[in-house]
Every structure is written in structure tokens, then in C-alpha cells.
Amino acid sequence: MAVLRLLSRTSLSSSAFSLRREYMAFTDSIGQTNYLVVGKNSYLGSGIWKYSTAAAIEEPIKPSVCVDYTQLLINGKFVDAASGKTFPTVDPRTGEVITYVSEGDAEDINRAVSAARKAFDEGPWPKMTAYERSRILFRFADLIEKHNDEIAALETWDNGKPYEQSAKIEVPMLARLFRYYGGWADKIHGLTVPADGPYHVQTLHEPIGVAGQIIPWNFPLLMYAWKVGPALACGNTVVLKTSEQTPLSALYVSNLFLEAGLPPGALNVVSGFGPTAGSTIASHMDVDKVAFTGSTATGKIILELAAKSNLKKVTLELGGKSPFIVCEDADVDKAVELAHFALFFNQGQCCCAGSRTFVHERVYDEFVEKAKARAMQRRVGDPFKAGTEQGPQIDYSQFEKILKYINHGLDAGATLESGGERLGSKGYYIKPTVFSNVTDNMLIAKDEIFGPVQSILKFKTLESFCRSDASVPSSRSITTKYSRWTARTLESFCRSDASASPSRSITTKYPQWIASRFQLRPTPIRREAARHWGITERARCWRQKQRA
């Protein structure tokens, strides 16, 4: 996200990982004991390849897809940037350039906004029936499914996430989301309001106008769906800025939108950088609403620019440092697997990752040992290789930032249980890292690392945790078998900081009891992907004729 570029690049010397030499043993799924040496001159034993996966150092698999769309989409046509500039998009498996993409700046955003404004004021998109709009969204979803493999290959090539994740989860979800929003297009209704006297009062839901949208690099296609889908379904026109790290999949699927029959100007896509293209969207006087997903620091800038311009509506979906709580009565094996997925999914590059694992002191040691063993068994390598669980980090800047935080954890006195260093010599691969004996005051417990680094903290009671947890997480999770003492503290867990934490999950034997007792509420400014994203409410009132 944009805030990552604000961090200075620090060259890491060999002293950054000057640990004493330590042997760590673990038993794999077939009962074989493996040994890992951790230290300044550590090496991998013969049995450790199940952990490190040699795929990371093999020759990368060549994707079977061509890059056809690298220009800006403005007013229904792919065009070069006004400046003629381009920027490279890089394969995170190797650090090599995939292709060069047109670099949009303020002038290109102005062109895109003008096209979107004309399409909204004079074009057919907001004027056509909601049913006609839904048919175009459904046709687009059909085309997504038809080109599933090509889209997934572009997503993995540009982003580094496992191909199986792209092809079997995220691209099908992209189609499903657009069908969902297409289904809502003709089901957004107003209200009639009782009034004193012979008056008829009703509220109408109308499209807002031109929607400016800025998406991140960690889930390019899903963020595309969450932003573009509801805005178009409601009859708005869109100016979308892709992340400079991952522009390829958004440009490809936007061409499918044209094939589905979307009118020119209804969707405009500009690839560029935050300080030029992104800031112009947020401050543009002809943009009626802006939606942003990214870092909290950049979200504050977006709010400021929106307020200083035309006080446009803003939707933000920001990061956090989310806790994953394991109670003393939890099934430890299940909790380890859940916590592992919550943190390491998508290379740890997830805004709602359970990046602070709080474990009750009675099961702490057992949890740490099993979490370490699970991390060592994780398959890291070329994301195009079948069975790979973890690919490379998105780029060199993020790769370096994660290693810097690992260094902070070591300096602060946390215990490195596994990983903690680069995997291989090519690309941006990092070994799945687990820290134990982490305390609240450490940077690895406070800052959003956005990488495969699990920090395991210890707690004594849930009440004490709720009092001490002063962060603003994106989500919260709790794992328990539901005992009486746990039940008494669930309410404080659910109510604490309710406005800041829109997503919470509770794993328990009694989900119905939880659902009936606690209503978990999202905060309006972070209600992303909701059907009311792109509408505004207007009241109409007129005098009724007296009946005879």
C-alpha cells in the first residue's frame, strides 16, 4: 500500500541476523525428524527441503498468457498517457520486468474524469433501466468465467500469489461478486413517508455521480469487484486507479467489460502512482465520491484532500493489527491451523490478517511448538507450481520492510522460532517466520508488518486482554470450546472498540448462541462492498389532490 513507500530503505547487513547458532528439531507428517540450524552462518540440512521447498530456487515457470493491455482505458478506448511515460511492472518471483505500463498522472485523471462526467450527465448508463444494467454485469461475469485461466495467470504473475488461489478462489469470486451486484441493480427501492396534511412524501435512491476509486496490490481483482461492482450497479460512472505494482489484471478484465456492452466513459482505468494520479482523484472537484483501500496513513491523506476540495463522500477500508485469541479450553491443533491460515494467507499481505496471536498461558508452550512445526512445513516456492502455499512478497520494498521488522523483533528480545530470513537468492521469498515471547511494546506486536511474520503473545485472562487491547484492528478472532468463564467475557470482547473493528469471528461449539446474543456492527466509513455504496437518498414532497 502507499504507506510502504514512505518508509526509508535500509540496507541490511549480515549483523542483522547475528543469532547464536541454535538447532531446532521438528517432526514432519511421516514421522521423520528434521533439523534446522539458525544463526549467522546457518545452513539447511537434507531433510529441511519439505520446509524450504526447492521450488523457490528452481527456474521459474513461464506463464501461458500474453500481456495485451498496458495502456490507460479512457472513454472506451485504450490510450497512451498524455506524457508518454511508462513504468515497469515486475515479476516478484525474479525481480525482472514483465512489461511497461502507461503511467497516468494528473492530466490523465482529468481526461478520465471528464469522460466519466460526460457519460454520467449525457450518456446512457445512468439513464438505462436497472434491469439493463444488471444484464451487462451478468454478461461481464460470464466473460470472467470464460477467461478464468488467463486472468488467474496475470494475477499470479504480477502479484506472486499462488496460481491455485487465483484460479480456484479469487477469479471465481470476482464473477460471483459481479453477479451479486448485478442482482441488486433493480432491487434498490425508496420509501414513502407519512406526512401531516394532503402531501405525498417519498425518498428516492439515485446514483451519486462520478466515483473515484483507488485500489491496492494485495487483492487486485477482489478490490476491483468491491469498488467497481456496486458503483456501476447503482448507475454511477467510475474512474479507477490501479496499484502501480499490479495493473495488469484490472486492465485485462476492463476490456471484457467493453465486450460485455458497457458504454464508453462508464468505466475509466488509469494506472499510476499515489502522489500524482491518486491525489488528483481525491482532490478533484468533479469527483462526487472517492473510495480507497490501503494504509491508515494514506487514508488520512485521502480524507483531508476530499474535505479540502468539494467535501466529497469517502469510503475507506484500511489496515490494522488484528488479534487472534486462543483460549485455554481451545482445541490447540485446530487453533494452530486457524491461526496459521489467518496470518500466512496471501503471503501475510492481508489487511485483516490475524497478525497478533494471543494464547492463554496454560496452552502457550504447546501452541508455540505446534505453530513452529506448522510454519516449517509450509511450502514456499514458485506460485505457478502445484501445491505451493506461499509465493514471493509483492516487491523489493515490501520484502526489505519485512526483514527490517524481523530485525526489530530480534533486537527487542523476541524468540525466533522459525524462519527469519530470505529463502533462495532470487525473487522476494521470505521463510515463514514465527516469534514467541512477544510483548505488547515490541514493534512486531504494534505495527502492521504485512508479511509472513507471526507474533505469539501470552495472556492470562480475556478481561485483561480486552482492557489492554487499544489497537484499531480490521478484525478479531477468538477460538474456544465455550466454557462459562469464557461466555462472561465474550460480550466485552464483542463490544470493545465496536466502531473500529467491523469483522470478528468466533470459533465455538455454540455458534447459534453467539449469533443470538451479539450483533457485530460495521462502522459506516468502512462499509466496503455494500449495496448502498453508490447511491444517495433524496426526499420528494408534493401536494396531493383532494379526493372527491
Give catalytic residue positions: 317, 351
| Angle (nearest 5°) at CA 120 between 115 and 122 | 90
- Cα–chain center distance at 85: 28
d(CA 254, CA 171): 14
Cell of 104: 497516468
The CA–CA distances, whole Å, from 317 to 175, 181, 226, 239, 534 equal 22, 19, 11, 18, 15
The CA–CA distances, whole Å, from 232 to 74, 353, 438, 528 equal 16, 29, 46, 15
| Angle (nearest 5°) at CA 371 between 366 and 375 | 155
Strand partners, 539: 203
Strand partners, 270: 241
Strand partners, 318: 294
What single-letter DSSP state applies at residue 243? -
The string of DSSP letters for 299-347 reads HHHHHHHHHHTT--EEEEEE----EEEE-TTS-HHHHHHHHHHHHHGGG
d(CA 9, CA 397): 7
Residue 500: how many CB atoms within 10 A of its CB?
14
